[in-house]
Amino acid sequence: MSKEIIYLDYNATTPLHDHVLLNMTDLLLSWGNPSSIHLSSRSPKAILRETRKKIADYLKCSTLEIVFNSGASEGNNTVLKSVWSTYGFDNPFDHKIKNEFIVSQVEHPSVLKTMQYLETLGAVVHYIPITRTGEMDIQFIKSHLNEKTALVSVMMANNETGNVFPIKEIAALVKKNNTLMHTDCVQAFGKINFDFEDLQIDYATFSGHKFYALKGCGVLFVRKNSPYINLIHGGGQERSRRGGTENILAIASFGLMLDQLSEIEKQQLRILELRNYFENEILNKIHHVTLTGHDSTRLPNTSSLVIKGCDGETLLVSLDIQGFAVSTGAACSSGNPEPSPTLLAMGLTKAEAQNSLRVSLGWMTTKEDIDLFITELIKIVARLRSLSTEEVLHV
Amino acid sequence: MSKVSSSKRVLVAMSGGVDSSVAAALLKDQGYEVIGATMQVWDYTNCDITEGSGTCCSSLDVDDARSVADKLDIPFYVLNCEAKFKASVIDPFIKAYLEGETPLPCVNCNTYLKFDHLVQKMKELDCDYLATGHYAQIVTNKNNQMVIKTSEDDWKDQTYFLFTIDPAIIPHLIFPIGHLKKPEVRQIAEDKGLVVAKKKDSTGICFVGSKGYDQFITENVDPKILETKKGLIKKFPTGEVMSNHQGIHLYTIGQSRGLGMTYHEKLFVIKIDPADNTVWVGDEKHLYYHDVKVVEPHLLQNIEDGQKLKVKIRYQHKSASAVAKKTDYGFDLHFEEAQRAVTPGQAAVFYSEEQHLLGGGWIKL
């Protein structure tokens, strides 16, 4: 469909930045295999080298600590399975067994599902609770860290509520226990500035398509000397740490976006103002709306709402018909009959999760977009509530 | 073709089959603002149904529906109805088999999903109409009421499954292909280049698939419960014990194959008694009944006591004349000619002489 949409689902993926779009045709000419010796490999080799350098400069780390892969799901799998293979039962290194993990209850499925898989192999996983207002229970981490803890994995920011977790504080605790620390930076990267070096973590995962680049490029930071075992064995790519011919086009687009990092500060403030305006307007103009995770530090772009009496799926479809793209934690047609585990973990009831809406703004969002969205949302909520059987909504 | 006002919005239930695809295409041609929707009713991720092979609504069928929607350039959504489908279609389906009946899940799907859930979605999505690919027609009767009539294609007519529709919603329904015959529908699909043009008709029960209903019951019911459904096969009417059986849910009235015994004459399942799990078999002549009880009736139009009706007692039944006598539980039907294999759990659906759908109810013997 060619219809213009107002896109407010930046936490799912982002449109391509003009800087990426305009350079795409030139980049397509770098079709060579970077592993070759002949001339055609030169420009793809240069793309790999230069992008890696830019990332290392941004993270203030060595280029040797950067592995390109397909995305953060692969990165998260690599980290968790590497650590398990290194310290789990029957590890081939004669390491002392460390079979415990501590992860938050609201991690991305690529972490939670991997944990569930490792549990079947004997891993013991402690899930850190999060409150409805977005507070993480740091005391829980303290009380569960012990000599058997192999890894702590906490995302920097949550995809559904935007809650930003105190990674530096957690990493310090974890280091004291001589345990490895991983953070999934997918949602935070490009939305807020952070001093990566200062966090002192061992593994971090990033994804290009949440930052206006192409899909198919992820970055995994692995601190020097941290355990690492290939998820994908193959050719000698990525210093033999990730087999498979590199996705040069996506990596190049990621590199182009790294030239735009200086924009973050300005955009962050602009988007925060828009998000706060949106939330104030909605809370003033629609009754029976609550925010989730709003009492804690949040990404400036994310708003997680519960709109009583409005089924999330129906709300999404209604908005889409009118040309607005948003997201929900409701059980949807995605093959998952249960509503969002994140929202349920934060103490929302199933009914509340079913009535949830996620709005996430980005660099291309304008005040006009938000105004149009507010107007439409008010209309749709009024219609859905007029058809609802819940009495309270009609008053 | 005449165009309707562009402001009319219609929600089309699209299964990914040829009928509902053509329904959507015709509405688009007629100038409606068309929105396609598939109900995801069953989680197919962990089952081995041979998809797209004559059942509706499996995940490959969703892909087909989406592809048709893309071709027609209409919005398309998959609506999650799994919980509702389980509660109102699957659970009663299983329960009926365990009580020795032969259920009719498509009616429940129409009652609780297509013409309830989707009607609600139609309102919520600000649509004026709900359309489906059923072979049925909507006409105006002599009292100027909109009523449902059988389709032009006698063989495909699906009004049998529609007797529980609330008459108040009929003015909001459209059956865009009810005036067509199946080959014409396929031709339209082909002319329009829809990927589903040559797809097989859906015949089976969508969630059961090719493995058969008995396998479905075995996989979805606690073995301890199935154990309590075992019993004896007895000869009707003498009561002679013929053999044991593995559960009443494995038999259906009129069945003659797969009875698991040899006998010098052909035997048919005559009656299933859930009280003591007896499956009665006997001569085919015992399958014929003049009188049938109909319970839990649902009427779209008024029926007078003693009115003569045309009645279908199963989907592929060529209706028969019967007189309906009102009772406290519903109706007693007296057929002019005795009917074969009158099966509890199936519906008796009533029609007028003009083929208008009057209502129906559930068969009890």
CA closest to A309 among chain B residues: B124
Amino acid residing at A305: L
Q: How far is B351 from chain A (nearest CA, A)?
A: 33
What are B250-262's pLDDT values in tens digits?
A: 999 999 988 877 7
What is the number of CB-based contacts under 8 A between chain A and chain B? 41
Winning range, highest mean pLDDT, from A59-68, A386-395, B208-217:
A59-68
B55 or A145: which carries more pLDDT confidence? A145
Residue B24: count other Cβ atoms within 10 Å of its Cβ. Answer: 29
What count of other Cβ atoms lies within 10 Å of the Cβ of residue B263? 11
State both tokens at A51.
């992008």
Calculate mean pLDDT across residues A363-367.
98
Q: How confident is the model at residue B265 (pLDDT cuts 50, 70, 90)?
A: confident
pLDDT at B59 over 90: no
Which DSSP state fits A376? H
The CA distance from B286 to B283, in Å, is 6
The model's confidence at residue B49, banded by pLDDT at 50, 70 and 90, is: very low
Identify the band that residue A1 occupies on the pLDDT scale cut at 50, 70 and 90. very low
Contact A237, A44 (CB under 8 A): no
**Would you please indicate which residues of A are annotated as catalytic (active-site) residues?**
332
pLDDT at residue A394, rounded to an integer = 53
Residue B159 above 90 pLDDT? yes
A336 CA: distance to closest CA in chain B (Å): 8
Helix (H) or strand (E) holding A301: none
| pLDDT of B231 strictly over 70 | yes
pLDDT of residue B53: 43
Q: Find chain A residues with C-beta within 8 A of B35's C-beta.
A: 321
Give every CB contact of residue A155 below 8 A, 6+ residues apart in sequence: A104, A106, A107, A108, A111, A165, A183, A184, A185, A186, A187
Residues of B in contact with A113 (CB under 8 A): none
- Give the rounded distance of the alpha carbon of A154 from its chain centre: 11
Mean pLDDT of chain A: 95
**Using the beta-carbon criterion (under 8 Å), do A321 and B125 form an inter-chain contact?**
yes
Angle in degrees, 0-180, between the axes of helices A264-285 and A367-386, rounded to the nearest 10 = 30
CA angle in degrees (0–180, nearest 5) for B290-B296-B230: 75
Q: Is B11 helix (H, G, I), strand (E, B) or coil?
A: strand
What pLDDT score was predicted for residue B92? 94
Mean pLDDT of all residues in B102-124: 93
From A1, A317, A332, residue closest to B125, measured CB to CB:
A317
pLDDT exceeds cutoff 60 at B51: no
User: Nearest to residue B248, comparing CAs of B285, B275, B216?
Assistant: B275
On whether any CB of chain A is under 8 Å from the CB of B75, the answer is yes
Residue pLDDT, tens place only, B8-28: 999 999 999 999 999 999 999
Buried b / exposed e over B73-90, threshold 16 CB at 10 Å, is ebbbbbbbbbebbbebbb
pLDDT in tens, B268-313: 999 999 999 999 999 999 999 999 999 999 999 999 999 999 999 9
Give the DSSP letter of residue B49: -
Q: Which structure tokens are listed for A36?
A: 């070759």
Average pLDDT over residues A87-105: 96
CB A249 within 8 A of CB A43: no
pLDDT, tens digit, 9 for 90 and up, residues B313-347: 999 889 999 999 999 999 999 999 999 989 999 99
Return the pLDDT at A2.
Answer: 43
pLDDT of residue B7: 75
Residues across chain B? 365
Read off the pLDDT of residues A69-78 as tens digits, 9 standing for 90 and up.
999 999 999 9
Rg of the Cα atoms in chain B: 22
Nearest Cα residue in chain A from B40: A333
Q: Which residues of B touch A384 (CB under 8 A)?
A: 124
Cα–Cα distance measured from residue A73 to residue A127, given in angstroms and rounded to the nearest whole number: 19
- What residues of chain A, 260 to 319, have a C-beta less than 8 Å from chain B? 311, 313-314, 317-318
Which residue from B218, B217, B215, B251 is spatially nearest to B234, judged by alpha carbons?
B251
Q: Using the beta-carbon criterion (under 8 Å), do B78 and A387 form an inter-chain contact?
A: no
- B47 has a chain A CB within 8 A of its CB: no
Average pLDDT value over all residues in chain B: 91
Are residues B117 and B132 in contact, defined by beta-carbon separation less than 8 angstroms? no
B69: nearest CA partner in chain A: A1
DSSP letter (8 states) at residue B212: -
Instruction: Check CB contact under 8 Å for A1 and B82.
Output: no
Average pLDDT over residues A29-46: 94
Contact present, B236 and B282 (Cβ < 8 Å) = yes
Q: In the 8-state DSSP scheme, what is residue A314?
A: H
Residues B192 and B130: their CA atoms lie apart, in Å, by 22
What is the Cα–Cα distance from A386 to A380, expressed in whole angstroms?
A: 10
What does the buried/exposed string (b/e) look like for A364-395 if buried means 16 or more CB atoms within 10 Å of the residue's CB?
ebeeebbeebbebbeebbebbbeebeeeebee
Non-local (6+) Cβ contacts of A349 within 8 A are none
Model pLDDT for residues B133-154, shown as the tens digit of each residue = 999 999 999 999 999 999 999 8
Cβ-defined contact of A314 to B125 (cutoff 8 Å): yes
From B85's Cα to the closest Cα of chain A, the distance in A is: 12
Give yes or no for a contact between B290 and B338, defined as CB atoms under 8 angstroms apart. Answer: yes
Indicate which residue of B81, B106, B109, B127 is catalytic: B109
Subunit contact B82:A387, Cβ cutoff 8 A: no
Chain B contact for A39 (CB, 8 A cutoff): no
For residue B200, name the pLDDT band (cuts at 50, 70, 90): confident
**A370 to chain B, minimum CA–CA distance in Å?**
21
Please give the residue of chain B at the shortest CA–CA distance from A354: B80
Chain A residues whose CB is inside 8 A of the B79 CB are 313, 317, 333
Cβ neighbours of A321 in B, within 8 Å = 35, 75, 125-126
pLDDT at B3: 59
Nearest by CB to residue A337, choosing from B77, B79, B80, is: B80
Looking at A272-323, which runs of residues are DSSP E strands? 289-291, 302-307
Q: Which residues contact A167 (CB under 8 A, 6 or more apart)?
A: A154, A156, A183, A199, A201
Q: Is the pLDDT of residue A3 over 80?
A: no
Does the distance separating the beta carbons of A387 and B80 come in below 8 Å?
no
Place of tokens 């859905």: A384
Q: What confidence tens digit (pLDDT) does each residue in A158-180 have?
A: 999 999 999 999 999 999 999 99
Beta carbons within 8 Å of A19's beta carbon, 6+ residues apart: A256, A257, A259, A260
Interchain proximity A314–B43, CB inside 8 Å: no
CB of A379 less than 8 A from some CB of B: no
For residues B195-208, give the mean pLDDT.
83
Q: By percentage, how much of chain A surpasses pLDDT 70?
A: 96
Using a 10 angstrom Cβ sphere, with 0-12 exposed, 13-18 middle and 19 or more buried, the burial of residue A141 is buried
- The percent of residues above 90 in pLDDT, for chain B, comes to 77
